[in-house]
């Protein structure tokens, strides 16, 4: 096996169910992801949205146990066959391929059944609303008038959250905070900024004085 990683730094990886051969998903691997996958016998990919290596199931627990790995004739596409734990798709569907191009029927998938943290579930739900009808979806109506409509709602909800803090009403603080989080996530989804990037930035700041961080940022 020879892969020219300089020519192909990211290879598409087709993932099939080992027992049924059902296509579960399409992801990407770089050299490090492939090495980790081979060594651990668990699927690792390179996430273009997170811009880092990720182990499938690291958040949801829906890991993929490697049974077979194949390389195509041009050495630029990988095929792996796995034993899938739980669902392969972040929507909760068994496979990512559940939407028919030829059908007018909208496919359904229950995000509430996934094991992701609630904010991550909500983020993926909001991403899925990009193709929704603005007349039927509030989120889609915000996308239709983005970025101004989204920015306006973030400012509005931040103000209401601040007023709730001032009034010291815990129930109202929680309610307004949820509204603010929702609209912030709409903004991130609109810009295709994955929550993992926010997590990385907060992790970077851990252990750093807030005053020092602000000083460095102003340089």
Cis peptide before 147 (omega within 30 of 0): yes
**Averaged over 79-101, what is the pLDDT?**
87
Residue 44's closest CA among 80, 19, 8?
A: 80
**In this predicted model, which residue has the larger pLDDT, 206 or 18?**
18
Using an 8 Å Cβ cutoff, are 185 and 119 in contact? yes
Residue 156's closest CA among 137, 176, 170, 140?
A: 176
pLDDT at 172 over 90: yes
Q: Is 171 exposed, middle or buried (0-12, 13-18, 19+ CB in 10 A)?
A: exposed
**Torsion over CA: 37, 38, 40, 41 (sign):** positive
| Number of H-type helices and E-type strands within the chain | 7, 6
Q: Which pLDDT value is given to residue 2?
A: 85
Q: CB-side exposure of 142: number of CA atoms within 13 Å?
A: 22
| pLDDT tens digits for range 3-13 | 999 999 999 99
Lowest pLDDT segment from 60-64, 69-73, 171-175, 215-219: 215-219
Q: Characterize 101-137 residue by residue with b for buried, 16 or more Cβ atoms within 10 angstroms of its Cβ, and e for exposed.
A: eeeeeeeebebeebebeeebbbbbbbbbbeebeeeeb
Lowest pLDDT segment from 12-21, 104-113, 159-168: 104-113
pLDDT at 28 over 60: yes
Question: What is the set of domains in the chain, with CATH numbers?
Answer: 11-84 (3.10.20.810), 117-204 (1.10.287.1080)
Determine the Cα–Cα distance for residues 148 and 179; give it in Å rounded to an integer.
17
pLDDT at 214 over 80: no
Q: Characterize 26-59 residue by residue with b for buried, 16 or more Cβ atoms within 10 angstroms of its Cβ, and e for exposed.
A: ebebbeebbebbeeeebbbbbeeeeeebbbbbeb
Q: Which pLDDT value is given to residue 1?
A: 64
Residue 199's closest CA among 188, 187, 186, 215?
A: 188
Q: Which pLDDT value is given to residue 217?
A: 66
């Amino acid at each position: 096996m020879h892969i020219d990683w300089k020519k192909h730094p990211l290879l598409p990886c087709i993932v099939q169910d080992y027992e049924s051969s059902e296509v579960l998903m399409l992801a990407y691997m770089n050299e490090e992801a492939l090495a980790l996958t081979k060594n651990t016998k668990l699927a690792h990919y390179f996430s273009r949205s997170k811009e880092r290596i990720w182990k499938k199931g690291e958040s949801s627990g829906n890991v993929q146990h490697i049974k077979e790995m194949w390389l195509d004739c041009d050495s630029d596409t990988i095929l792996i066959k796995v034993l899938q734990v739980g669902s392969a798709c972040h929507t909760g569907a068994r496979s990512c391929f559940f939407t028919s191009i030829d059908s007018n029927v909208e496919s359904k998938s229950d995000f509430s059944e996934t094991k992701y943290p609630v904010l991550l579930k909500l983020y993926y739900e909001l991403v899925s609303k990009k193709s929704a009808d603005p007349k039927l979806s509030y989120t889609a109506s915000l996308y239709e008038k983005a970025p101004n409509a989204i920015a306006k709602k973030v400012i509005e909800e931040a103000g209401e959250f601040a007023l709730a803090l001032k009034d010291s009403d815990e129930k109202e603080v929680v309610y307004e905070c949820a509204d603010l989080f929702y609209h912030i996530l709409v903004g991130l989804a609109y810009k295709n900024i994955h929550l993992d990037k926010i997590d990385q930035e907060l992790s970077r700041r851990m252990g750093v004085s807030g005053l020092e961080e602000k000083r460095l940022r102003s340089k």
